[in-house]
Structure 1
Amino acid sequence: MAKSESFSIRQIIELTGISEFTLRGWETRYKAFKPKRTSTGRRIYSLQDLQKARLLQALLDKGYKIGNIAKLNLADLEKILPQQEVLSSMPTPPNKHLKYISEIMDLAHLFKWDEISEQLQKKRRNTKSESLIADILTPLAGQMGQLVAEGQLSVGQEHILSALIKEQLVLARGESRTSNSKSRLVMTTPEGDLHDMGISFAASLSKLEGLKTLFLGPSTPKKDLCETCIRYNASHLLISNTISEKEGAKESLFSYINFLDRNLPTHIVFLLAGRNSMQIDLNLKREINTFSTIEEFHTYLKDLP
């Protein structure tokens, strides 16, 4: 790639997967880029701008705040991100639905909720459910979370868009196959954790795979969860946990899981997901599986009897 190469904003979007709204925000609010302009006012980005955008996104994925890193140059950004992570941050082939997802996010910024609902309904009617979840709704939810973390989307906007995404997940479950499965899954979050987007995706995928699924919603007390699993004759229990005690959970995930382990039959397999579940070391008397992505979980579902 020659040093003299230049890129339009659309090319930057396609090569990085970053939305136009986000790029413009990094440029105008945080002064991350200073693109040149054509005689007609179109932005022209350099190869260095492209590389910087990739590094910024990789660092945001690691938990850095855009306000703290946006003005750093390429050399300083590379010092923060280990070299092996710089290489792994190179983009995967562009999601063919990126333009659609960007358009939905643009509508969300303009509070055009009816238009978003209509667009999602149309997309659902014309897309297979698995593809809708994997290619549209999952990256849309990820983009939403990223913009909230960056302060570019309000909590109120997040709640409305989340509700619209969950509505499509519920409607997609209508295509579930008749279940002859022996597996019986229960899904929830620990008491105090109200973030149920992850288990909403999980429940839809589970039902689409023809598995018997009991979706409890978020924040289930541990004693109630034990009783429910036993009465439902659960074979698997999915716990998604994204917050710590300091952030609002009633107790530590370690304590919550160990209570369940002591009080549930040992044949019930524990499935853990969510940010907070990646940070604990458990030694349980049963099979336990941890998932870092919804794709990993979906692959696991396909092998269940």
Structure 2
Amino acid sequence: MESYSVAQVESITGISGHKLRIWERRYKFLKPKRTPTNIRFYTADDLKLLINVGILTRHGNRISKIGSLSNKEISEKVLDLLTDTDTDFEDDISSLMLSAINFDENLFNNIFQRQLVRSGFLATITDLIYPFLNRVGVMWTASRVIPSQEHFITNLVRQKIISSIDSLQQPAHDAPEILLFLFEGEDHELPLLIASFIIKDLGWKVYYLGQNVPLNDIVTIIKKRNIPTVMSMITAPQIDKVSNLIYDLISNTDVHLILSGSKKNIPNFENLETVSVVNDPKELISHLHNLDNK
């Protein structure tokens, strides 16, 4: 049985542990189970319910009223809300969470398309898809998403991004150039694809190598094309190996390296001027603008 700790539920739903405990005492709709050592945990059904409850409370529904509804009535009220064009990003992130848990491709496509029409692709990626993937990452890291769910949601997002990349205009002949790749041992390509779209949308020429690229291949193309800027994502817990690869890359080329990904797995390179770390798409956009203006 899938189970979630209080901290995991907080990260996924945005509902504080303090509030969860209050609701547990006052209302019958929430009854978490407990381990033999009396630590509370939540099931997958509890998680789905709390995602829905979070959507309703954000729209002004009183928890005392929600607590008197059946799970079916709660789901129906949420469905009514989500057909409204006035939902916010937090509602849509919650809905995408439900689509991942339930393998609901129609829900995913409806939310994505509505946000695309409302805000455009770049804002949809930076303000919806990126925080959604971060939240799903809480579940992936805790092994609370089975592999088929991970593949399901990853491929839906991947399809959207690749399609949008293909629709972008070709960069100018004198456009700034950047090489995108993942070091050996790095398999999660989706964040790199997101970066590729963002950078191409800014008018840069992108050389995209993908995942698990040997260092020799990276160095070869940098020297052959005289590429001044490179970017990679770090997600795997292999700090020593990545540190050595990065030092070898820097010592064999004159590139400026941009890193992003999991903060705890990115080595500390504060003393290296040729290495920059960006924490999210908006920081990446700002950093690229600064590089382009130098």
Distance 1:134 1:282, change over 3 A: closer
Provide Cα deviations, 1:88-142, integer angstroms capped at 9, x if missing partner.
Answer: xxxxxxx921112211221221222344235424543443122111111111111
Q: Which runs of 5+ in 1 are unaligned?
A: 1-15, 44-67, 73-94
Provide Cα deviations, 1:139-161, integer angstroms capped at 9, x if missing partner.
Answer: 11112111223443223211210
Q: Which runs of 5+ in 2 are unaligned?
A: 1-9, 31-36, 42-86
Q: In the alignment, does 2:202 pair up with 1:209?
A: yes
Residue identity in the other structure for 1:101? I
Distance 1:18 1:224, change over 3 A: closer
Distance 1:240 1:186 in 2: 12
- Who is 1:263 aligned against? 252
- Who is 2:279 aligned against? 292
Answer whether contact 1:278 1:292 (CA < 8 A) is retained.
no
Q: Report SS of the residue matched to 1:228.
A: helix
Distance 2:136 2:269 in 1: 30
Distance 1:69 1:206 in 2: 49
Residue identity in the other structure for 1:199? L
Q: In the alignment, does 2:214 pair up with 1:221?
A: yes
Provide Cα deviations, 1:155-199, integer angstroms capped at 9, x if missing partner.
Answer: 321121011112222233355355235421111111011022221
Answer whether contact 1:177 1:209 (CA < 8 A) is retained.
no
- Provide the aligned length of Structure 1 versus Structure 2: 230
Distance 1:191 1:151, change over 3 A: closer
Structural RMSD (CA): 3.5
Distance 1:152 1:207 in 2: 34
Q: In the alignment, does 2:185 pair up with 1:196?
A: no
Q: Report SS of the residue matched to 1:187.
A: strand
1:1-305 to 2 correspondences below 5 Å: 18-19=12-13, 34-37=24-27, 96-174=88-166, 176-180=168-172, 181-245=174-238, 252-264=241-253, 266=254, 268-275=255-262, 278-281=266-269, 287-305=274-292
Give TM-score, length-normalised by structure 2. 0.66
Give TM-score, length-normalised by structure 1. 0.64
Identity of aligned residues (%): 17
Distance 1:35 1:174, change over 3 A: farther
Distance 2:160 2:22 in 1: 36
Provide Cα deviations, 1:5-24, integer angstroms capped at 9, x if missing partner.
Answer: xxxxxxxxxxx88528x889
The structure carrying a bigger helix percent of its residues is: 2
Answer whether contact 2:97 2:136 (CA < 8 A) is retained.
yes
